[in-house]
Homo-oligomer: A and B are copies of this chain.
Amino acid sequence: MPDTTTRERMISTAMTLFRREGYPATSWRRLVEEAGTPWGSAYHHFPGGKEQLGVAAIELGTELVAKTVRRAFERTETVEDAVRWWYRKAGQALAADGYRGGCPLATVSLEMANVSPTLTEACRTAFATWHRLLAGLIAGRGYDAERAEDLAFAAVELLEGALLLCRVRRSTAPLDRAATHFARLAREES
């Protein structure tokens, strides 16, 4: 079962709060209250302070999304179906959470880009990980390397834009449209 240790519960709760309201709005006090973890041991598990917790939460979010992507390509045959499956999964998660969630990185990325080089570097690494993973999986479906790179970019760009609009409109429609747009990009020859 997941999140058995105090440290793990803190990280996964931090990821949830970061994606819902962002980094500055997530205080240690709210975190330990939400996670039900001991307030006194925060700096025991994260001597680097809130920033270290932030990096850990970003890494967890990166891995969770990567897992979804891998699963999407396992259960589908074409690239457009894989992305559609991925986006649908993201939409379901978003709706099930009452449109409070979204990308685990987007909010922190935007907030901390000019403030914390450490967190920004973690976000940069995360996006690079996704991009590399996607490009590899797309290339594995028969696309040449350059085109796979390009489609991997499109998949991330469209997802991030769509998640933002879904959040604001409280609807998964933008994600559905984004999946269709991606399918068109993937199908077109030349």
Q: Which residues of A contact B (CB under 8 A)?
A: 20-22, 24-25, 99-100, 102, 106-107, 109-111, 113-115, 120, 123-124, 127, 150, 153-154, 156-162, 164-165, 167-169, 174, 177-178, 181, 184-185, 188
Could you tell me the dominant secondary structure of chain A's interface residues?
A: helix
Given A110-B107, A111-B22, A177-B150, are A158 and B156 neighbors across the interface (CB < 8 Å)? no
* Assembly CA distance A21 to B115 (angstroms): 8
Given A153-B174, A154-B177, A181-B185, are A113 and B127 neighbors across the interface (CB < 8 Å)? no
A110 contacts B22, C-beta separation under 8 Å: yes
Given A24-B25, A25-B24, are A110 and B167 neighbors across the interface (CB < 8 Å)? yes
